[in-house]
Each structure stands twice: as C-alpha cells, then as structure tokens.
Structure 1
C-alpha cells in the first residue's frame, strides 16, 4: 500500500513538473513577439537572448512564423559576427521558403566570404565553397539585381574556370526571377 502511494505521489510530481516546463504554442508565440519587439527596437543583445531562449521551442511556431524567426535570428547572428550560426538558420529559411531571396543573399554572401578566405589561402576547397555560394547569389541577383552581386558571381565563375555556367548566367537569372519572395508572412 505504501509503495502504491509513493508511486502515485511520484507520478503526480513528475506530471506537474512536465506540465510546468512544457510551453504552449501561445506562450511560444508570445516569446516570438517579445523577440521581435526587442529586435525592432534595436535591442540586439536582448533580442539575441530572447531568440536563444526561444530556439528549443521554435518548432511550436506556425511554419510561417518559424521561417521568419529563423531569418531574424540568423540576421542577428550575422550582424554579431557569428556566421556559423547565421548560416545554420539561413539554411532553415531557404529550405522552408526557397523563393525568399533575402535569406538566399545572406547565405550566398556568407558562403562567398568563406570561399574568398579559401581562395586567398590557396586552398583547393575554394571551388567547392564557391559552388555552394553561387546558387544563392544567383537567386538573390535574379530577384533583386545588384551590380556588386553580379560582379561577385562573375568573379567566382571566372576563378573556378566555369565558362559554360558564366555563358548561361543571364538565362538562369531570367528563369529564377519568375518566383521571388521579398517579405515573409509570419501569420
């Protein structure tokens, strides 16, 4: 009888603990709103802290809000010189919303930076990293033409000696420009 009472008491305590630690979707969304408010008010450190607290529960956000959150925290990480973390979250956004060229641009430039470091150091891995950056840069260029991005794309193709890709660049950009998302809807 005493063992059953202890088991029942222990089960009740565990259930209470699990319930207290589990956050509802509404609570997570409220955290997301607090994160956005801090970010929009320029409180970068606070926004990063709130965002990092939100990360373990981000899967409870609706898909659109989750993509917007991942982009925003990725952008904060990028601006805070944490490119590895920025890449991780930009990749999630691009996987969820491939037409969102703003995340494509961020990802492309971060990969291009890594490629340039490899090129300068004479690493044989430059070509692979350049090829990783180029599709993202092309999507960004197709949706929001920019001379600097176009010059970077051409520079990279020239340095990896891919004249075939360079000669078909305009047709690819035209095709890619048919489907562009410039704002994420978080509703």
Structure 2
C-alpha cells in the first residue's frame, strides 16, 4: 500500500511540474494542484478550505482530474467526520470508475457504520413498532453496504472486511448470499483498479 502511495505522489508531482512547464494553467486546475500539494504535504488544516473552493467549479476540471478530486475531497470529509458528504463523492467516483475498489471500500464502510448505529438503536428499542421500523432500515442499509464491501474484499482482501461481510449475511439470515460469496468475490476480482489517473 505504501508503494502505491509513493507512486501516486510521484505521478502527481510529475504531472504538476509537466503542466507548469507546458501552458498557462486554468485557475480551477491550479486550485486543484494546490489542493493535491497540500494533501501530499500533510497540510490537513488547509484541505477543507482548498477543496471547498474548487467544488463550485469542478465541471471545469478535466474528467479524470474531477474524479480524482471527488475521491480526495470525499476522504477529507470522511476524516472530518462528515460521512454523508464523503459518501456523496465516493458514489460519484464509483459511478465514474466502477472498478476502483478504494471508493467502494469507503462507501461500504460508511454504510456499515450506519448499519451498526441502527442495530444499536434496534437493540435498545422497547417499542415493537419502532423495533420493526429499525429492523427494516437495518436490512436496507446492509444491502447497500454489501456490494461495495464485496468489491473491496475481492480486490484487496482483508480479514476485517471478510468478517464484516459474513456477519452481515448472518444477521440478514441470508445463507444463500453467504454460500455464494466466494464465487462472487472471484468474479469481482477480475477487474480491479487501485490508482485513479488524473490525466
């Protein structure tokens, strides 16, 4: 994983230098490069402001840079405990690059956290009607989490993710889903992207 991060850093810096030498930079793209530079330098206190300055003009970014930015701003929101905003951007990334499993991992874990919160409320509920409503909300949220967690597991296996997936199927009492998991993971692993290009 560290190797992939270092490669990403080198690619972004190379792109930054190459673009600086070629032509005048569009102001929005320049903000995007500043955002990436701050991210690479660990200037987390600046990221939210830099990212939100780009948001109104993301349509002006090249398509791949826009997708890359969406993922990065999603991470900023997630790390700032704003999972709904992060989810919105991760879903845009997953729609644009369906095989980019890192976005799927983010989506899956956000839904998993929601499901866990709902389950806690469900376990504490004493009113039967409230419990029934929460149980339905739990099932719906788990069904939202599972395909994303499975894509992440297929492309980058982890015991934690696999355990979460199996637990969710058991909680749903979905033995068929659990029994067919290995075959689905095998199929999903055929197409995996682990680095987004921005050019």
Query: Separation in 2 of the partners of 1:153 and 1:146?
Result: 11
**2:146 aligned residue (121, 124, 134):** 134
Partner of 2:103: 103
Give the RMSD, CA atoms, in angstroms.
1.2
Q: Name the TM-score, length of structure 1 as normaliser.
A: 0.85
Query: Separation in 1 of the partners of 2:35 and 2:67?
Result: 14
State the aligned residue count. 164
Partner of 1:30: 30
Q: Does 1:155 align with 2:167?
A: yes
Q: How many Å apart are 1:42 and its aligned residue?
A: 1.1
SS in structure 2 opposite 1:108?
helix
Structure 2 unmatched runs, 5+? 1-23, 123-133
Q: Name the TM-score, length of structure 2 as normaliser.
A: 0.80
Higher Cα radius of gyration: 1
Partner of 2:185: 173
Query: Separation in 2 of the partners of 1:175 and 1:113?
Result: 26
Partner of 1:85: 85
1:93-125 C-alpha deviation (Å, 9 max, x unpaired): 011111000010011001000011111111221
Q: Does 1:146 align with 2:164?
A: no
Structure 1 unmatched runs, 5+? 1-23
